[in-house]
């Protein structure tokens, strides 16, 4: 994968680790990185819990390689999780036990011998055991002095526990078992059967107490696992099994990993309380919304002292919706993402503190709009980088932030209360085109959020250059960013000299053959625009005196082929951050004695995924030319096969075109 500074910006990769671990807790959305939990362990095992490992089979001992994966550094022989849901009415905690058995196949696999897991008040690590079984039959246990607990935040009481398995060598089998405990089942996290290395056997067993209704669903599509019911001691559940799993296809510019293969999510639907009444849990979005309003959003709304005068003041603005959004977005810092308010949050409280969760800010926005006579609806929105699950599966844990929808002359308009770079009715690219849930009074309703077309996210460079008598190029340029391209840069370069300096650095990177000076920047969140003007002088080291060459696609090119994999090798869709368009117009003139020696051939490539156009117009006097180039990508998602081939070919044509220089020589 190649890239250059002038490549289009991407929103990603996602900073937050993907959710695949155990189950979070009501009141604190706990998220565990799946790759860690998968092999995770930690903490010296307390006396209350002590696991023994099942015997190693001859078949497991005999594994020396994995068919289809000759370079696999290690293989997971088995990955078994047991989820025991407890009766919430009895105040009992649920548990998750995970046992992973891994065999080291090559020296590169030795790094599988250390593991780590994050935990905290909402997800407590109760115990860990581990051992190394050497090829000669010796067993070396994980000792407590090889387990390290780090407090990642004293304030949040969060920890990371790490352990180093002993005597790890090629041919060794590593057993790791851990036990976690949690109190709430309201934010079920998906379970991943896979690992970054091949997995021969992967299973999830879950059981629920009598009276609790549970169902298991894939995050999207059809369930790929085999399932058999479990009934034991009045508890019921199921055993899900998958075998011979290849590592997830992590291809460049791909979908979120969890979109590539479904994960299992165990949904607690209902339970019977101590009085014998059935209590719905995650049986339907209606229930979830009701619970949220009652337990979380309602208390936030209730603490609304001081809201009325504020609303009256903001409602006097020429555009009350914009004024209210601006106040909430910029006047109250965003302290936490997700759909849950922070414990104890109220509207009055966040106004006083000047800081609030995304959810509480959305409620504040909704309440202020309401007092100004504007009806707003809360919207739960996802971030596509975390995957786009099927909203038919009821799970509030899917969502990343809370927006507010208002009616905009008969059209849905969305307000983001937490992103200071977004004006009214604009969404961040991570939300555009994704599924969202409208929390309407009549009941929750799935919707697809609107998108911005390619021409709405524009980068346009206008350059006026002249070749001097000494053979050096010089001139001025302007760069205009609109839409998502502006969003990407707005408020991120500081202000004043710092902003100019930052853009100078950006331009110097994009125009490596030039000294960049006189940089001036104007930006506007309201209009989603950034305008940069600058002066260019060719670097002394680039000046030859009798020959001058220029790549005319600068500063938005040259395009490099980013889709290196041949069409037949690409297995998963390409996910493009957002459709966009690049435009370059360069005017170049030169003095007598110089003549044009070479120039790019015209280009006109049009495909279903985008198009590229390049043309050169020579002035009548033979001492001036105008070069124009446009490169547009229409799609967000490009499927493997022909669409991918079209995208790859488009980039190849652009790369070939951009590699050609304008050459002037002095005879």
Partner 1 sequence: MSRWSSAAAASVTLQRGLTLPLGLVLGLVLSAGSAGAATVEQRHIHIEIQGDGSLLETTRLRVRLDTDADVARWTTYRTYLDDNRELEGLEAAILRADGRREAGVAGRDMVEASGSAFHASRRFHLLTFADLGVGDRIVVEQAIRHRPYYPASRVLLHGGEEVVDLKVTVSGADPTTWRHAVSGEVPGLEVEGGPGGVTVSATGLPPRTAPPLAPGGFDARPALRFGWGGDGSWDHVGAWLLGEATGAPKGPSTGGTVADLAAELTSDLGTPRERLETLTRFVQQDIRYLAVEVGEGGYRPSPPPEVLERRWGDCKDKTMLLVDLLAAVGIEARPAYVRSGRGRRLDPAFPSHDAFDHVVVAVPVAQLGAGEGGLDVGGAVADGWLFVDPTQGRGGAGWLHPNVQDQLALVAGAAGSILIRTPSRPHQERRSLVVDLDLDPGGVLAAGDARGTARLELTGELADRLLAELGEAEPSSARESARSLLAGLLPAATLGAVDWFDRSEDRPAGGAPAVEIEADVVIPGLMTGGSSSIRLPAMHGTPDPEILRGRGDPAVLPTRRVDARWRLRLPPDSCPPVARGAEVDNAVGAFRQSLAEEDGVWVVLRTTELRTRWVDRGDLPKLEALALAEHRTQRRRLRLRCSAPE
Chain residues binding partner 1 by CB under 8 A are 1-2, 69-73, 106-108, 110-111, 113-114, 145-146, 148, 150-156, 162, 164, 166-169, 333, 354, 494-498, 501, 512, 515, 539-542, 544, 547, 549, 558, 560-561, 564-565, 569, 597-598, 652, 655-656, 658-661, 663, 665
Shorter beta-carbon distance to partner 1: residue 35 or 435: 35
**H or E element, residue 523:** strand 514-524
On whether the CB atoms of residues 638 and 576 are closer than 8 A, the answer is yes
Shorter beta-carbon distance to partner 1: residue 190 or 612: 612
Shorter beta-carbon distance to partner 1: residue 403 or 472: 472
Least Å distance, CB 452 to partner 1, is 27
Shorter beta-carbon distance to partner 1: residue 225 or 631: 631
Shorter beta-carbon distance to partner 1: residue 244 or 564: 564
Shorter beta-carbon distance to partner 1: residue 150 or 375: 150
Shorter beta-carbon distance to partner 1: residue 96 or 511: 511
Shorter beta-carbon distance to partner 1: residue 15 or 154: 154
DSSP states along 9-70: P---S-SSPPB-SS-BBTTB----BHHHHHH---SBPPTT----PPPPPHHHHH---BTTBT
Least Å distance, CB 171 to partner 1, is 12
Contacts 24+ apart (CB under 8 A), 278-286: 279/89, 281/185, 281/186, 282/186, 282/188, 282/394, 282/395, 283/213, 283/394, 284/394, 285/394, 285/437, 285/443, 285/444, 286/443, 286/444
Query: Which of 11, 224, 183 shows the shortest CA–CA distance to 90?
Result: 183
Count the Cβ atoms, other than its own, within 10 Å of residue 151.
12
d(CA 395, CA 268) in angstroms, rounded, equals 10
Shorter beta-carbon distance to partner 1: residue 6 or 240: 6
Least Å distance, CB 317 to partner 1, is 23
Burial readout 469-504 (b: 16 or more C-beta within 10 A, e: otherwise)? eebbbbbebebbbbbbbbbbbbeebeeeeebbebbb
Burial of 511 (0-12, 13-18, 19+ CB in 10 A): buried
Query: Which of 516, 458, 452, 451 shows the shortest CA–CA distance to 486?
Result: 458
Going from the C-alpha of 290 to that of each of 64, 88, 276, 295, 541, the distances in angstroms are 54, 18, 21, 8, 69
Least Å distance, CB 193 to partner 1, is 20
Let me know the angle formed at the C-alpha of 410 by 409 and 414, rounded to the nearest 5 degrees: 80
Rounded (to 5) percent helix, strand, coil in the chain: 20, 40, 40
**H or E element, residue 242:** strand 235-245
> What is the SS3 string spanning 133-187?
ECCCCCEEECCHHHEEEEEEECCCCEEEEEEECCCCCCCCEEEEEEEEEECCCCE
On whether the CB atoms of residues 507 and 532 are closer than 8 A, the answer is yes
Least Å distance, CB 414 to partner 1, is 27
Q: CB neighbours of 346 closer than 8 A, spacing ≥ 6?
A: 299, 300, 302, 303, 304, 360
Shorter beta-carbon distance to partner 1: residue 371 or 666: 666
Shorter beta-carbon distance to partner 1: residue 205 or 539: 539
Shorter beta-carbon distance to partner 1: residue 70 or 410: 70
Least Å distance, CB 145 to partner 1, is 7
Least Å distance, CB 389 to partner 1, is 27
d(CA 134, CA 143) in angstroms, rounded, equals 16
Shorter beta-carbon distance to partner 1: residue 52 or 71: 71
Least Å distance, CB 379 to partner 1, is 29
Least Å distance, CB 343 to partner 1, is 15
Structure-block tokens of residue 312: 């009256």
Shorter beta-carbon distance to partner 1: residue 282 or 516: 516
What number of residues does the chain have? 667
d(CA 629, CA 652) in angstroms, rounded, equals 15
Shorter beta-carbon distance to partner 1: residue 163 or 339: 163
Burial readout 174-209 (b: 16 or more C-beta within 10 A, e: otherwise)? bbbbbbbbbbbbbbbbbbbbbbbbbbbbbbbbbbbb
For the chain, the distance separating the N- and C-terminal CA atoms, rounded to the nearest angstrom, is: 41
Least Å distance, CB 123 to partner 1, is 18
Least Å distance, CB 470 to partner 1, is 14
Rounded to the nearest angstrom, the gap between the alpha carbon of residue 520 and the centroid of all alpha carbons in its chain is 32
d(CA 464, CA 535) in angstroms, rounded, equals 10
Shorter beta-carbon distance to partner 1: residue 504 or 636: 504
Structure-block tokens of residue 594: 């110089």
Least Å distance, CB 25 to partner 1, is 21
Least Å distance, CB 133 to partner 1, is 14
Least Å distance, CB 365 to partner 1, is 20
Q: Which residue in the block uniquely carries the two structure tokens 């015997």?
A: 55
What are φ and ψ of residue 635, in 5° steps? -95, 155
Least Å distance, CB 152 to partner 1, is 6
> What is the SS3 string spanning 348-361?
HHHHHHCEEEHHHH
Least Å distance, CB 516 to partner 1, is 11
């Amino acid at each position: 994968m190649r890239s250059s500074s002038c490549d289009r910006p991407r929103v990603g990769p996602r900073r937050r680790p993907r959710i695949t671990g155990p189950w979070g807790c009501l009141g604190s959305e706990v998220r565990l990185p799946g790759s860690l939990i998968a092999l995770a362990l930690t903490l010296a095992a307390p006396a209350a819990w002590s696991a023994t490992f099942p015997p190693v089979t001859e078949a497991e001992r005999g594994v020396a390689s994995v068919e289809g994966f000759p370079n696999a550094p290690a293989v997971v022989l088995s990955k078994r999780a047991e989820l025991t849901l407890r009766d919430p009415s009895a105040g009992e905690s649920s548990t998750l036990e995970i046992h992973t058995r891994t065999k080291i196949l090559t020296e590169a696999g030795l790094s599988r011998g250390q593991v780590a897991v994050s935990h905290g008040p909402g997800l407590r690590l109760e115990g860990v055991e581990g051992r190394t079984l050497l090829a000669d039959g010796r067993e070396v246990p994980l000792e407590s002095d090889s387990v390290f607990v780090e407090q990642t935040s004293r304030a949040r009481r969060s920890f990371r526990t790490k352990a180093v398995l002993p005597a790890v060598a090629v041919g060794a089998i590593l057993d790791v078992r851990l036990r976690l405990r949690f109190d709430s089942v309201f934010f079920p996290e998906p379970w991943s059967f896979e690992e970054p290395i091949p997995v021969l056997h992967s299973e999830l067993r879950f059981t629920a107490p009598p009276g609790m209704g549970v169902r298991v669903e894939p995050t999207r599509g059809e369930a790929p696992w085999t399932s058999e019911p479990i009934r034991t001691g009045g508890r019921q559940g199921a055993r899900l099994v998958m075998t011979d799993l290849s590592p997830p296809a992590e291809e460049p510019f791909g979908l979120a990993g969890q979109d590539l293969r479904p994960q299992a999510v165990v949904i607690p639907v209902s339970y019977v309380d101590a009085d014998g009444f059935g209590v719905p849990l995650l049986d339907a979005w209606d229930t979830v919304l009701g619970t949220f309003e009652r337990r979380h959003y309602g208390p936030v709304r209730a603490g609304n002292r001081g809201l009325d005068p504020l609303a009256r003041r903001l409602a006097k603005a020429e555009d009350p919706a914009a004024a209210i959004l601006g106040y909430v977005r910029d006047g109250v810092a965003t302290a936490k993402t997700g759909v849950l308010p922070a414990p104890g949050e109220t509207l009055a409280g966040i106004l006083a503190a000047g800081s609030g969760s995304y959810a509480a800010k959305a409620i504040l926005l909704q309440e202020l709009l309401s007092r100004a006579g504007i009806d707003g609806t809360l919207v739960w929105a996802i971030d596509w980088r975390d995957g786009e699950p099927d909203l038919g599966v009821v799970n509030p844990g899917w969502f990343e932030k809370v927006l507010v929808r208002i009616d905009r002359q008969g059209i849905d308009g969305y307000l983001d209360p937490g992103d200071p770079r977004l004006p009214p009715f604009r969404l961040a690219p991570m939300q555009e085109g994704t599924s969202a849930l409208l929390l309407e009074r009549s009941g929750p309703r799935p919707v697809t959020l609107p998108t911005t077309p390619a021409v709405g996210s524009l980068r346009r460079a206008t350059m006026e250059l002249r070749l001097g008598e000494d053979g050096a190029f010089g001139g001025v340029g302007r760069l205009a960013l609109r839409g998502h391209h502006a969003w990407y840069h707005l408020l991120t370069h500081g202000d004043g000299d710092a902003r100019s300096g930052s853009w100078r650095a950006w331009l110097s990177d994009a125009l490596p053959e030039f000294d960049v000076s006189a940089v001036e920047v104007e930006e506007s969140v309201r209009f989603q625009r950034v305008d940069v003007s600058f002066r260019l002088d060719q670097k002394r080291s680039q000046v030859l005196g009798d020959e001058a060459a220029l790549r005319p696609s600068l500063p938005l090119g040259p395009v490099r082929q980013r889709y290196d994999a041949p069409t037949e090798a690409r297995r998963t869709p390409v996910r493009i951050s957002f459709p966009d368009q690049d435009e370059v117009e360069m005017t170049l003139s030169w003095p007598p004695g110089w003549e044009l020696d070479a120039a790019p051939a015209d280009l006109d490539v049009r495909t279903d995924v985008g198009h590229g156009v390049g043309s050169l117009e020579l002035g009548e006097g033979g001492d001036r030319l105008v070069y124009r180039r446009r490169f547009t990508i229409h799609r967000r998602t490009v499927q493997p096969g022909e669409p991918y081939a079209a995208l790859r070919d488009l980039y190849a044509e652009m790369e070939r075109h951009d590699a050609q220089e304008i050459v002037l020589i002095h005879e």
